[in-house]
Amino acid sequence: MLSGYKLMWMLVLFDLPVVTKTERKNANKFRKFLQDQGFDMCQFSVYMRFCAGKEQTQVYTRRVQSALPPSGNVQIIYITDKQYENIVSFSGPRRNSPNRNPEQFTLF
């Protein structure tokens, strides 16, 4: 049975240098990699992905690790689906609607 306490969201947060042309290229390559892996941008340096559970987050963590740029900081945070439902978000002074969980879960 799928449980909101076992389903996970994986957040990748990063601060990458973009001073030189090579650094900008590496940062853009990393962003593109995350998108290709099914991550959605929620802020410029914060990407998130829905995962079926802890095992799947471990798979994607290894993938992210294999694609790390040569410099900069990258952190990964895991939260349960239930915790995701409780995120409070604002656009300017206006509060956004609560986060919606995926309507359908796809198994590969």
* 107 band by pLDDT with thresholds 50, 70 and 90: very low
Q: How far apart are CA 30 and CA 104, in angstroms?
A: 28
Q: Could you read off the pLDDT of 40-59 as tens digits, one per residue?
A: 999 999 999 999 999 999 99
Task: Compute how many other C-beta atoms are within 10 angstroms of the C-beta atom of residue 14.
Answer: 20
Residue in the structure block whose two tokens are 């601060």: 15
Q: Between the CA of residue 86 and those of 73, 78, 99, 101, what are the distances in Å?
A: 27, 14, 8, 11
The pLDDT value given to residue 3: 64
Q: Could you read off the pLDDT of 64-96 as tens digits, one per residue?
A: 999 999 999 999 999 999 999 898 989 898 988
Q: Which segments of 1-108 does DSSP mark as H helices, in order?
A: 21-36, 54-66, 81-85
Q: How far apart are CA 32 and CA 80, in angstroms?
A: 25
Q: What is the Cα Rg of the chain in Å?
A: 15
Q: Could you read off the pLDDT of 25-41 as tens digits, one per residue?
A: 999 999 999 999 999 99
Predicted TM-score (pTM) of the model is 0.84
The pLDDT value given to residue 72: 97
The pLDDT value given to residue 48: 97
Reading the block at residue 39, the tokens are 């991550």
